[in-house]
Amino acid sequence: MDVPVLNFWLNKKKLNKKGLAPIYLRITLNGTRTEVSSKIAIDPKKWDERSSRVKGKDPLDIRKNKQLNELTTKVYQALDELQQHRFNINASNLKLAMNGELFQKVKLLDCYSLFIDNLKARVGSDYSEASLEVHSITFQQIKDFLISINMENLALDDFGNVFFQKLEFYLKKVKGNKHNTVYKKIERVKGMLKWAFDMEYASKDLSRKFKIKKQRKEIIFLTTEELERIKEIDSVERLNVIRDTFLFLCYTGLGFREIAGLKEEHLTRNIHGGYSLVLTRHKTQKNIPETPLLPQALELIQKYEKHPVRLNQGKLLPVLSNQKFNAYLKEIGVLAKIEKPITTHVGRRTFATTIALKNGMSMEVLSKTLGHSNMRITQECYAELQNERIREEFEKISEKLKISEGSVIDIQKNAN
- Domain chopping of the chain, boundaries: 5-98, 108-208, 224-381
Residue 62: the pLDDT is 94
pLDDT by 10-residue block (mean), the chain, 416 residues: 88 92 94 93 94 92 94 93 80 87 79 93 82 93 95 88 91 93 93 90 82 79 92 90 93 87 84 75 61 90 90 87 84 92 90 86 82 72 63 75 63 56
The CA-atom distances, in angstroms, between 102 and each of 33, 41, 162 are 17, 27, 27
Residue 251: the pLDDT is 94
CATH topology of domain 224-381: hpI Integrase; Chain A (1.10.443)
193 touches 238 (CB < 8 A): no
Query: Max CA-CA distance within the chain?
Result: 126
Residue 191: the pLDDT is 93
160 touches 206 (CB < 8 A): yes
330's CB contacts (< 8 A; 6+ apart) are 341, 342
Residue 357: the pLDDT is 84
Which SS3 state, helix, strand or coil, does residue 51 take?
A: coil
Q: Which amino acid is at 405?
A: E
Q: What's the CA gap between 339 and 230, in Å, rounded?
A: 13
169's CB contacts (< 8 A; 6+ apart) are none
The pTM of the full predicted model, rounded to 2 decimals, is 0.52
Q: Is the dihedral of CA 55, 61, 63, 67 positive or negative?
A: negative
Instruction: Kindly calculate the radius of gyration of the chain based on its CA atoms and give it in whole angstroms.
Output: 35
Which residue in 321, 296, 355, 218 sits closest to 329, CA to CA?
321
Residue 106: the pLDDT is 82
Separation of CA 216 from chain center: 19
Residue 311: the pLDDT is 87
Residue 353: the pLDDT is 87
Residue 42: the pLDDT is 94
Q: Is the dihedral of CA 236, 242, 247, 250 positive or negative?
A: negative
